[in-house]
Amino acid sequence: MSFLATILTWLGQPERWQGVDSIPTRVGEHLLMSGVALALAVALALPVGIALGHFGRGGIVAINVANVGRALPSLALLALCLPLAFALGLGLGFWPTMFALVPLGIPPIVTNSFVGLRAVDRDTVEVARGMGMREWQVLRRAEIPIAAPIIIAGLRNAAVAIVATATLGAVVASGGLGRYIVDGLARQEEARIFVGAVLVALLAIAVEIAFGLFERLTVSPGIQAQRSSDEGAWTAGAR
Amino acid sequence: MTPDEPLIRWDWVFSHLGDIWQRLVEHLTLAGLAVAIGLVISFALSLAIRRYPRLYDPVTWVTGVLYTIPSLALFALLVPFTRLTIWTAEIGLVSYTLLILIRNIMAGFQSVPPDVREAAVGMGYAPNQLLWRVDLPLALSVIIAGIRVAAVTTIGLTTVTALIGQGGLGFFILEGIQRFFTTPLIVGAVLSVVVAVLVDAALVGVQRWATPWTRARS
């Protein structure tokens, strides 16, 4: 039987579409885990990054957070969260994965919101103040809208890293699409491995595209036009 | 992971020093080979982009998509074709270095001041000499910065290849998870981070040695 036929047969089984190990369930688990982790990471990191950028303090901290995030490999982080979750009596699966996902999302958000706000032209900020804006108005109506493309790029990097690592969560017995890959490797079922991998890849690309659309919808057109297409040297983005 | 089990058993570490060394070497070989192959491919592609600038968008698009695919999925996609061999690991690891390296090589070339190039042309440098004796040396510090990011990322991702039977230090992480035994898990995780930090520091050293003129400025 050809490889394609094996995959189609595997996809044709009823348990692929209904029940605990079905594709819709696994996609749902993956999105739930990633969504909760991203929301927590945003809640923790965005105010810090924006505050540091606004007051222009702690630049070294903000930049180094990104470097630490890059040096800490996702599998190692996941592995180290396992004994932690056990010590707290939270067991396998969801919690150790969550402990790994949230810290992975934080560095790109902190760094990009800091860098984005710092990159706002000081004259523009002065003009906003001169127009009589209060400090929080300067932030909300001048600095954040201008920094939005860079902040959103940070959110996108965080989301892609989280979706990728949620796949690895299967190693510590969490749900999500990683289950197909890890179980497939254990059972030597190539169709399961392959379909799992394709779905994870599509999900990651979809997240990337979704953030692109989000940027197009939220960022003011004038600022989008200003941005050069050349993004230059690699500065941020942990994986 | 029973309550009375210590977080790390030093007797296990000392009785497995040989194993640990072997996996460490394996890890560095897998990662080093990937960065080296990635650098050769990226350099060739960057030269092609310099010659034909229209290639920039398609090349960064393809390498960008590769970079977006989560590591475990990329390795898994290759399994039906390359099986559980070293090539599955290497193809995956190399793909992740491309976007980082190409971006930095191109940014490095773009950072060369046009006046300097014009002076070199005026002095009679041929295109080839211009590349090797002017552009490359001046772009080197940005290129090495890219190699640092690529190396640190690759060392981290190499741990994931344990899932497709390759390993390096990831072998200990997986063993620790599967046997509920924290000692190898911590050994594998901590060593991979330490190796990444040491390699990064070593590359900073290389950068300072290779581009002495940047020292005065920074």
Task: For residue range A24-77, list pLDDT tens digits in order.
Answer: 999 999 999 999 999 999 999 999 999 999 988 877 877 777 767 766 778 888
pLDDT over threshold 90, residue A173: no
Domain A23-222 is of which CATH architecture? Orthogonal Bundle (1.10)
Domain borders along chain A are: 23-222
CA distances from B154 to A42, A105, A125, B33, B135 (A): 26, 19, 40, 10, 27
DSSP tally for chain B: helices H, then strands E: 11, 0
User: What's the pTM?
Assistant: 0.86
Query: A172 with A96: CB under 8 angstroms?
Result: yes
Q: How far apart are CA B12 and CA B9, in angstroms?
A: 5
Confidence at residue A235, expressed as pLDDT on a 0 to 100 scale: 41
Domain range for residue B56? 10-217
What gap in Å lies between CA B160 and CA B177, rounded to an integer? 13
- Low-confidence residues in chain B, pLDDT < 70: 1-4, 216-218
Please judge whether A194 and B69 are an interchain contact, meaning their C-beta atoms are less than 8 angstroms apart.
Answer: no
Cβ–Cβ gap A73/B155 under 8 Å: yes
How distant is the Cα of A129 from the closest Cα of chain B, in angstroms?
34
Q: Which of A86, A167, A231 sits opposite B72 (nearest CB)?
A: A167
Residues of chain A positioned with their CB less than 8 A from the CB of B185: 79-80, 82-83
Neighboring chain A residues of B197 at a CB cutoff of 8 Å: 71
- What is d(CA A105, CA A101) in angstroms, rounded to the nearest whole number? 6
Whether B5 maps to a domain, the answer reads no
CATH of residue B203: 1.10.3720.10
Inter-chain contact B77–A82, Cβ cutoff 8 Å? no
- A225 band by pLDDT with thresholds 50, 70 and 90: low
pLDDT confidence of residue A63: 74
Show residues of chain B in contact with A239, CB under 8 Å: 67, 71, 96, 153, 156-157
Say if B145 falls within a structural domain.
yes
User: What pLDDT score was predicted for residue A57?
Assistant: 80
Confidence of residue A228 (pLDDT cuts 50, 70, 90): very low
- Integer-rounded Cα radius of gyration of chain A: 21
**A100-149 pLDDT tens trace:** 899 889 989 998 999 899 989 889 999 999 999 998 899 999 999 999 99
User: What's the pLDDT score for residue B45?
Assistant: 96
Mean pLDDT of all residues in chain A? 86
* Assembly ipTM: 0.84
What are the Cα distances from residue B27, in Å, to B34, B154, B167, B191, B196?
Answer: 11, 10, 7, 10, 11
pLDDT for position A231: 46
Q: How many domains does chain B have?
A: 1
Are residues B79 and A185, on separate chains, in Cβ contact within 8 Å?
A: yes
- B38-93 pLDDT tens trace: 999 999 999 999 999 999 999 999 999 999 899 999 999 998 888 888 999 999 99
Whether residues B192 and A73 touch (CB distance < 8 A) is answered with yes
Banded model confidence at residue A229, pLDDT cuts 50, 70, 90: very low
Contact A196 B70 (CB under 8 A): no
The region, left, alpha or beta by phi > 0 then psi within -120 to 50, assigned to residue A238 is: beta
Distance from CA of A194 to the nearest CA of B (A): 5
For position A213, what pLDDT does the model report?
A: 92
